[in-house]
Chain A
C-alpha cells in the first residue's frame, strides 16, 4: 500500500542552523512528491514539488528513488519557517494525495 512516513513529530532548531525534515515513501510506481506547509492560523499551501526542482523560500528537496526519500532541506533556518510541514505523494494512476503525519518545525531565536 502507498504510505508516506515522516518520522519526526517535532523538530526544534536554532535560527541560522541547517534544517532537514525527513520524508520516506512506499510506492512501487512512479511517484510525484510534494511538500505542503501550514503556518499558524493559515490554510495548507504548496511549498514545492519534485518535478519543478525549484528552491522556494530557501527550501529544496531532492527525490531519491533508491532510498525512497524526499527530504526537505534548508541551510539556514529562519524564525518565520516555524510551521507544520507535510510530505505528500500523488500516485501515477491515482486520484489523491497521500499525506504523512506531518512534522512541526520550531525555529528558536
Chain B
C-alpha cells in the first residue's frame, strides 16, 4: 500500500509568513510523529499523536509551532510568523504501535528567506 506522504515537498516562505505542512500517515497507523531535521543533523523530535490526542509536544521549539490531528488520520504542522531558523526539513512518521518501526515520509523542505 501507499506509504507516508507529505505536502508540499518544498516550501519557500518570507520571514513572518505562516506555513502549514501536511502529513498523510499509513492507513490504520495509530501513532504519528513530527521531526525537524536541520542541515547536517539527525532528525529531532517535535511532537507525538496517538490517534487524535497529542500526547507529547515537548519538542516544539516555541509557541509559534502548532500541530493537530483532528480525526486521528491526517496531521498538519503549522508554523506562525516563520523565522530563518525555522528553515529545515520537516519529517512525518507513523507507526502501528508507539514503540514499533516508524515509517517516514519524504519530508517537506522549508526555506525561510
Binding site for B on A (CB under 8 A): 4, 32, 34, 36, 43-46, 49, 86, 88, 90, 95-102
Residues of A within 8 A of B104 (CB): 36, 43-45
Binding site for A on B (CB under 8 A): 3, 33, 35, 40-45, 48, 55-56, 59, 91, 98-99, 101-107
Q: How far is the CA of A32 from the CA of B101 in the complex (A)?
A: 11
Q: How far is the CA of A44 from the CA of B107 in the complex (A)?
A: 9
* B interface secondary structure, majority: loop
| B40 contacts A46, C-beta separation under 8 Å | no
| A97 contacts B101, C-beta separation under 8 Å | no
Could you write out 11 A-B pairs with CB less than 8 Å apart?
A36-B104, A44-B104, A45-B103, A95-B55, A95-B56, A97-B43, A97-B45, A98-B45, A99-B42, A100-B42, A102-B41
Nearest-Cβ distance from residue A66 to partner chain B, whole angstroms: 24
Q: How far is the CA of A15 from the CA of B63 in the complex (A)?
A: 49
Of all chain B residues, the one with the shortest Cβ separation from A42 is: B106
| A86 contacts B55, C-beta separation under 8 Å | no
Of all chain B residues, the one with the shortest Cβ separation from A87 is: B42
